[in-house]
């Protein structure tokens, strides 16, 4: 068994990411994105769950998770990859959470699209965010990912219409961006801001940080 290069230690912060094999899409339709978002909530628990029973018996976000495995600070889903900012609450918490999350999603995906085998490009990747500057930067990096869908080369060419870009982010529901905009959507329960540094005093401050990145032609 191969050893993970980055040790996932309780109380530390990590940037997790993975993509589809050969960069293939892992989310083909809105329902695929929605399933993964729901699983971000459901997999973060010691308790087992049956997705179809939950749909029949009660609302997904009424599932009693009790003790959660990790705290999620930010996330984004893109057509062929995802990013998660995370900290483990107990030893082995990240590995168990990611196993539950990806296993449940691959089972769903393979059944829906009548395929077999792996979906992701090996094990999830992880980066230890071991300094404050890097950790703050990851909040912007994660939440700015969707801009590539409308401006693939925005990092090289810059953003001329910042309002258009912000409007697109506000309409992109498959990330935690709206949860930093003080929205009351039910998906806000997925993240827990408390264990992470309070870099943004309010929603306006959060957007100011995002806008600052639009002023630089630099690799995020």
pLDDT in tens, 72-122: 999 999 999 999 999 999 899 999 999 999 999 999 999 999 999 999 999
Q: Does the pLDDT at position 207 exceed 60?
A: yes
What is the Rg, in whole angstroms, of the alpha carbon atoms belonging to the chain? Answer: 17
Q: Which of 138, 111, 150 is nearest to 213 (CA)?
A: 138
Give the predicted TM-score (pTM) of the model: 0.91
Q: What are the residue ranges spanned by the domains of the chain?
A: 14-214
14-214, CATH topology level: Alpha-Beta Plaits (3.30.70)
Question: pLDDT confidence of 218, banded at 50, 70, 90?
Answer: very low
The Cα 43–Cα 133 span in angstroms is 30
**At residue 219, does pLDDT exceed 70?**
no
Distance CA 102, CA 22 (A): 17
18 neighbors 140 (Cβ within 8 angstroms):
no
Phi–psi pair at 83, nearest 5 degrees: -135, 140
Q: Render pLDDT for 62-72 as a digit per residue (tens, 0 to 9).
A: 888 889 999 99
Q: Give the chain's end-to-end CA distance (angstroms, integer).
A: 33
- The string of pLDDT tens digits covering residues 180-206 is 987 789 999 999 999 999 998 888 888
- The per-residue pLDDT for range 5-19, each reduced to its tens digit, is 667 899 899 999 999
Element (H, E) at 37: helix 30-42
């Amino acid at each position: 068994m191969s050893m993970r290069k980055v040790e996932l230690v309780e109380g530390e912060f990590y940037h997790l990411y993975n993509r589809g094999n050969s960069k293939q899409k892992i989310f083909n339709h809105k329902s695929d994105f929605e399933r993964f978002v729901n699983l971000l909530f459901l997999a973060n628990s010691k308790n087992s769950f049956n997705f179809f029973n939950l749909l029949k018996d009660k609302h997904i976000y009424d599932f009693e998770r009790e003790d959660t495995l990790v705290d999620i600070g930010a996330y984004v889903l893109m057509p062929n990859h995802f990013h998660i900012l995370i900290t483990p609450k107990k030893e082995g918490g990240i590995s168990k959470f990611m196993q539950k999350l990806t296993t449940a999603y691959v089972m769903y995906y393979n059944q829906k699209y009548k395929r077999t085998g792996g979906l992701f490009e090996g094990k999830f990747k992880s980066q230890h965010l071991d300094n404050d500057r890097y950790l703050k930067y990851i909040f912007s990096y994660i939440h700015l990912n969707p801009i590539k869908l409308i401006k693939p080369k925005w990092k090289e060419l810059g953003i001329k219409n910042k309002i258009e870009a912000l409007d697109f982010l506000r309409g992109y529901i498959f990330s935690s961006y709206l949860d930093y905009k003080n929205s009351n959507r039910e998906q806000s329960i997925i993240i827990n801001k408390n264990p992470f540094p309070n870099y943004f005093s309010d929603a306006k401050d959060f957007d100011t940080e995002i806008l600052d990145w639009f002023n630089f032609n630099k690799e995020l």
